[in-house]
Amino acid sequence: MAVLVAVALQAATARSKRPRYIFVLPDGYVGWVQIVFNDQAATPLPMRDGGYVIDIPESGLTRTSDLRVHDFKRQDEFYYHSSPTAETQELGKVPIENVLPGDSHGGFGVMDTGGRGKGYSWFVFVGPPSIRSKVPLADWDKEVEAWRKVHWNERMPAPDPYPSPGRLQSKGPT
């Protein structure tokens, strides 16, 4: 009986923790990120400090066998790494204005990959408001709001084509 109670308490404790996503982006990255979930050929996301680490390469596209976790109370973190090698990697926070708040960070999910293999995708734009305002679909919540003004509660279609993941601009002189 004591073992059963201990297992039940551990399960409750695990559920009460809110795993978050920890995005690690190339230094100065501005552009679209595409995370492909449920790709059984990919590896699970590593856990660090209670969060799922999503390492974003220069291509902006990363894959995992995990399923996406939706939690509106989740506090995701976004970092730039200064060096591509894990041994010397230093992390710096992405400026707060470069990522929209909320469960999807102004991005959107679709039930396919746009021709990039098996799984389903989450698209997120990372960049300052001055650039985001010029990039189509970079604030999906605004797109939905505009759609609903005209179409009320009619389901909004997924964008076609999807954004292309990858850096939009270079990080500048080094």
- The confidence score (pLDDT) of residue 6 equals 40
How far is the C-alpha of 7 from the C-alpha of 139, rounded, in Å? 42
Closest CA to 30 of 168, 173, 139, 172: 168
Task: Based on DSSP, count helices (H) and strands (E) in the chain, helices before strands.
Answer: 3, 10
* pLDDT tens digits, one per residue of 109-128: 999 999 999 999 999 999 99
Q: What is the pTM of this model?
A: 0.84
Distances from the Cα of 23 to the Cαs of 2, 6, 94, 132, in angstroms? 39, 33, 9, 18
**What confidence tens digit (pLDDT) does each residue in 57-102 have?**
999 999 999 999 988 888 999 999 986 565 666 899 999 999 999 9
Alpha helices of the chain — where are they, by DSSP H? 2-16, 129-132, 140-151
Identify the residue whose tokens are 């695990």: 14
pLDDT at position 9 over 90: no
Q: Are 153 and 105 in contact (CB under 8 A)?
A: no
Contact yes or no for 22/79 (Cβ under 8 A): yes
